[in-house]
Amino acid sequence: MQTHEIRERFTQHFVNAGHTAVPSASLILDDPNLLFVNAGMVPFKPYFLGQQTPPFETATSIQKCVRTLDIEEVGITTRHNTFFQMAGNFSFGNYFKEGAIKHAWSLLTNSVEDGGYGFDPERLWVTVYLDDDEAADIWHKQIGIPAERIQRLGMADNYWSMGVPGPCGPCSEIYYDRGPEHGKDGGPEADDNRYLEIWNLVFMQNERGEGIGKDNFEILGPLPKQNIDTGMGVERIACLLQGVDNVYETDLLRPVIDTAEKLTGATYGSNDQDNIRFRVIADHSRTGMMLILDGVTPGNEGRGYILRRLLRRIIRSARLLGAQGATMEAFMNTIMDTMTPSYPEIADSRERILAVAVNEEKAFLNTLESGTKLFEDAAAEAKSAGKTTIAGDEAFTLHDTYGFPIDLTLEMAAEAGLKVDEEGFHSLMAEQKARAKADSQAKKHGHADLTIYREWVDQNPTEFVGYDNLEAEARVLGLISGGEKKTTVGQGDEVEVILDVTPMYAEAGGQLGDRGLIRAVGALLNVTDVQKIGKKLWVHKAVVQEGQLGLEAVTASVDKQWRHAARQAHTGTHLIHAALRQVLGPTAVQAGSMNKPGYLRFDFNYTEALTPEQLHQIEQITNQAVDNDWAVNTFETTLAEAKAMGAMALFGENYGNEVRLVEIGGPFSMELCGGTHVAHSSQIGPVAVLGESSVGSGVRRIEAYSGLDSFSYLSKERALAAGLAASLKAPSEELPDRIAALTEKLKAAEKEVERMRRAQLVAQSLKYVESAQDVNGFHVIAVQLPAGIEAGELRGIATEMRGQIANKDAVIVLGAESAGKAPYIVAATKSAIARGVKSGDLVKLIGQYVDGRGGGKPDMAQGAGSNIAGLQAGFEAVKKELESL
């Protein structure tokens, strides 16, 4: 049974049982505790936490999940995956233990002809929590499982919570006996390799308190309602129904391994080390592809860093298996082919996914060259020092800075006849992980407490009338000040006002919330921001300017100038997006935006800086759309119909079945958007593109002004150009050529000054050579040069001096003061090195006196410190060291 059919059978089973089918949420949710969705219940957290009332009593979903805590462990075993699909059914106060158990059992054991999976009931075992007699009785008396196949386990195994205070409860896990060839008898408690867990039924009935770990917390008491949260591992079910040993042999991942065999010439199954590399390629290709699908791009922190690590581990593993050239395109195409039946949206993003992954491969291959050079330097220094081991800190630098995993460094070291201080490396890795774990633990309690808003979210969602009206009569439903509900607020109070009707737009889709006023009899409030809670409730953040306000009738009005300029900027963002795709192609898609009155910025996925010509094209196409005076049409439609019409949607955004479509100029621009817009494109006014920049790996940003702000900017630019033209006595159209000519003259003058300066330094170096001291038979030049000489110049002077006395046992020690620092250098001739001089050691010695660090090779090494006054003492220490040789 193929994986996509396993998914379909699960969904249909629960839909037939009256559950609402909920689509998988994006892997990226606005949650302070999570980089990625890591469990099937995560999208339902507001319901389990009591922050919102669910719109259904029962639901089912197949949620895509990513867990990346143990990336380094992937491939070592066949059970660990970074991406997995969690099929689940949920009950919010409807059925409880009996219903959950019966639903799961019938799907697992019903025949394939009847819509089930057809598992042999005799091979299924279950575990329950220690004192959960109720669940044990249901399994034994109602389902008919013999008592000897029901095992009781403790809190660490069979008690679930989210790891933070909140809902929790005992659980019951279902296991499949894979047979004696996979391990010993005795059920799950004896061997969890033979007895494979396939489904976990969580009976969410209690509230937990503070604590750390799976079993170190207090049970505070029962929840108001008993809930069900279950999770069935789609990949594990696929292994069993496809008759394969592990997930890497299933229809989703085995094709990637086959592709890797073709590209590398290696064979899966030939040895353990290669097997790990094949599994890394298969697992990370799928996870990386799914992350890119949901809008993640490679970067140096957060989600982007995780994606970068995954992609680079693929590249490295392929090279270690024998691949010579690029491999990413082949891996990505293969995994997209296997996953598209389950996720049809992959087809629409195929070109973009390939572009992101392939560009990261190109970048890393360049990085590999830099890292390889660093490794070769470290290996050469170790050999010249008579060492057989590369230091752990150097291996860690290769890993942390250049993305070299330890196994790649180990292999390169072995080829060079060296070993690596693995203990030192792993010690540094452990320190890094401890810091990351502490940081993660510190963030775990970051749940925003939204329960204060719940009664309004549930009963009185705000009616937004601001698309058509800038003023509305409303009633105050609630007041919150200082984190507490109030019945009245007075002058000077900062307050959150909840209205039943509002014309004010709440911040969303990159558009800032409206500004405006709330008036009542004898009261005036200045609204400074509007935010949404639970997508249903508008919260007006305001300051009471006059009088007192209670739960009464009011008039809410939008600042007309603010709204007009905000609409100009927001609609201008749509035009910029459309123009950008015309110039750069369909892979340049939105990665974020922000617009406020008169200003907009637009982030998009793209791996190269834009040329001036491309920016000019984007600006020209945008303003041509403004001049076309197209009607801006907005209408409600279904998500399916909007996508069929070609509407653009944002990654990571969860849309309902009904969506709002904004169309400008027919096919020119068609996007799903809930923002406010002008009625005709001409009302945007001129759009002035300020420029573009990088905001992260693979993400660029365009900034622009709109409306009167654009006019003001262009007016200032014109005045500046006129001033330059007057100063240079040239027409404005000749300014670029005249400025370019002046710049070239300046550069030539600077080069001449630099040449003369260097010539003086070289001439001066001859005097220093003549004044060299004899120290234990060494020709020693130790000089603090004039202030202002930089590290690069020191190197040139030292090289020049060494060349003049290359036939002697000479050591050159130079230092200077530059920008508040003390750069220094040590250089040695070949004969001095033969007598035991190591420039790198001498540089480290100087560092003790100038509070600095440095290093290098025996013939030349450099460093820099912060204590300039210590240079002379450092020079004397070098002389004493030479006397001891």
User: Which residues define the annotated binding site for Zn(2+)?
Assistant: 570, 574, 673, 677
Task: Yes or no: say if 561 and 708 are a contact pair by the CB < 8 Å rule.
Answer: no
Binding site: which residues? 570, 574, 673, 677
Q: Are 775 and 879 in contact (CB under 8 A)?
A: yes
Q: Which residue is associated with the tokens 């305001």?
A: 542
Q: Cα 103 to chain center, whole Å?
A: 37
- 3-state class of 655 per DSSP? coil
* DSSP string of 250-276, one letter each residue: STTTHHHHHHHHHHH---TTS-HHHHH
Q: Record the tokens describing residue 619, joined without a space.
A: 């600006």
Element (H, E) at 657: none
CA distance 489 to 481: 8
The β-bridge partners of 556 are 472, 518
201 phi/psi in degrees, rounded to 5: -105, 115
d(CA 364, CA 354): 15
* Cα–Cα distance for residue pair 524/515, rounded to 1 Å: 14
Which 3-state string (H, E, C) describes 24-64? Answer: CCCCCCCCCCCCCCCCCCHHHHHHHCCCCCCCCCEEEEEEE
- In 467-552, DSSP assigns E strands to 471-481, 484-486, 488-490, 494-499, 501-502, 516-520, 523-533, 537-546, 548-550
**C-alpha–C-alpha distance, residues 591 and 593, integer Å:** 7
Distance CA 860, CA 882 (A): 16
DSSP output for 421-476: -HHHHHHHHHHHHHHHHHHHHHHTT-----GGGHHHHHH-PPEE-TTT-SEEEEEE
**Residue 548: phi, psi to the nearest 5?**
-125, 150
Tokens of 502: 């509002």
